[in-house]
Amino acid sequence: MRIVLLGAPGSGKGTQSQLLIKAYGVPQISTGDLLREAVARGTELGVRAKAVMDAGKLVDDSIVLGMIRERLAQPDAARGFILDGFPRNIAQAEALQKLLGELGAPLEAVVLMDIEMDVLFKRLTGRRICQDSGRVFNVFTSPPGSPPHCARCNDMPRLLQRPDDREEVIGKRLEVYEAQTKPLVDYYRAAGLLRIVAADADVQTVFDNLCRAVGAPPAAQ
Ligand code: AP5
């Protein structure tokens, strides 16, 4: 499986990536997670990226491309990959095509997680992340205490809100998506790679439709 999950902030890319990892053992490569790790480690790159991310803007292409090049070179990516949050503009998409051409591992599908903008605001303001297990909750749709049982945090999550999930930043992120990322829909449609999945259904329904859209064999329950 070599796919891109394309979609607005809060459309469910991270949630669906976790289910794909569990079902198919393919690594998720999330530029957002890689950047947040750099921020948490306090690296020079992390310090530079933090201000940009907290403002809801896109980090420099050169930084993100360097991270992707390094990550795709790791052995587990030879099994395939789920790109989550990358590419995010046409320049990144062109660079990705070149890189995957060099690796002899072209994309098989690009899935647009299709959802109305008004649903996203609630999803993003409601998102909370357990700082011990990394599990993602939502105070509206999947609050702490909802299944599955989590052994790592013993079902007692210490919850954090992402700085860019504050109401005043969300509008900017959605604006950046419309202006810079949405043009990728036509780009990948023209390349014959685009698949569209309705992302406003419940998590399992979205997952079933996503698997069908990329032609993945039925996942064991
Ligand atoms: P990134 O981390 O990629 O964030 P994003 O694209 O804005 O996406 P999110 O992580 O917010 O949402 P998601 O679609 O994964 O939704 P999730 O599954 O969590 O990027 C952050 C920042 O890093 C960017 O703003 C930028 O600054 C920088 N960056 C990253 N990549 C970059 C790049 N390539 N170039 C330049 N800069 C880059 O779900 C959201 C919530 O909804 C959760 O609470 C979840 O529980 C809930 N939910 C999910 N699915 C459902 C469902 N079906 N029903 C009900 N609730 C649901």
Segment 118-151, tens digit of pLDDT: 899 999 999 999 988 888 999 998 887 777 777 7
> What per-residue confidence (pLDDT) applies to 100?
97
What mean pLDDT comes out for the span 68-97? 96
Atom of ligand 1 nearest to the CA of 173: 25
Active-site choice (2, 50, 71, 88): 88
Average pLDDT, the chain: 93
> What per-residue confidence (pLDDT) applies to 56?
96
> What per-residue confidence (pLDDT) applies to 220?
64
Question: Is pLDDT at 53 greater than 80 in this prediction?
Answer: yes
> What per-residue confidence (pLDDT) applies to 146?
77
> What per-residue confidence (pLDDT) applies to 92?
98
Does the annotation mark 88 as catalytic? yes
Does the annotation mark 127 as catalytic? yes
What mean pLDDT comes out for the span 155-174? 90
Given pLDDT bands bounded at 50, 70 and 90, which one contains residue 15?
very high
The 3-class SS string of 51-120 reads HHHHCCCCCCHHHHHHHHHHHHCCHHHHHCEEEECCCCCHHHHHHHHHHHHHHCCCCCEEEEEECCHHHH
What share of the chain in percent tops pLDDT 70?
97
What mean pLDDT comes out for the span 60-80? 95
- CA–centroid distance, residue 17 to ligand 1 (Å): 11
Q: Which residue puts its alpha carbon closest to atom 50 of ligand 1? A: 12
> What per-residue confidence (pLDDT) applies to 9?
97
Pocket test for ligand 1, best of 4, 5, 13, 57 (most atoms within 8 A of CB): 13
> What per-residue confidence (pLDDT) applies to 221?
58
Does the annotation mark 79 as catalytic? no
Cβ pair 8, 119 in contact under 8 A? no
The 3-state DSSP class for residue 182 equals coil
Atom of ligand 1 nearest to the CA of 11: 14
- How far is it, in rounded angstroms, from Cα 38 to Cα 26? 23
Q: What share of the chain is helix, strand, coil (3-state, %, to 5)?
A: 50, 15, 35
The 3-state DSSP class for residue 1 equals coil
Does the annotation mark 135 as catalytic? no
Token pair of 92 as six digits: 């990144």
pTM of the model: 0.94
Residue 120: other Cβ atoms inside 10 A: 22
Count of all residues that appear for the chain in the document? 221
